[in-house]
Amino acid sequence: MNYGTLLSALSNFVLIIADYLSEIWEFLIFIGRIAGVIVILVGAIMWLTQINVSKGKGMILSGIILSIVVQYFVMYPPTFIG
């Protein structure tokens, strides 16, 4: 049995899986950015139109925290992104 070809096949498989994980990661970052903006906008609308002031302020704070967390993961991605 030739272990060199087996190792090469496993290496290729690992690279394919890493590419898929990278694509999924980029999609999740995109969704996180959009979600942060939407939560902040909805919270601002609720706060400024006096619909529910306390919930609006909470949504704005949550959107800001979500945006900070997403930006952290953009700056320091997992190792499979490379």
pTM equals 0.79
- Domain map of the chain by residue range? 3-75
* pLDDT number for residue 42: 97
pLDDT on residue 7: 66
Return the pLDDT at 9.
76
Mean pLDDT per segment of 10 residues, for the chain of length 82 residues? 64 86 93 97 96 95 97 87 56
Burial of 29 (0-12, 13-18, 19+ CB in 10 A): middle
Other CB atoms within 10 A of residue 80 CB: 14
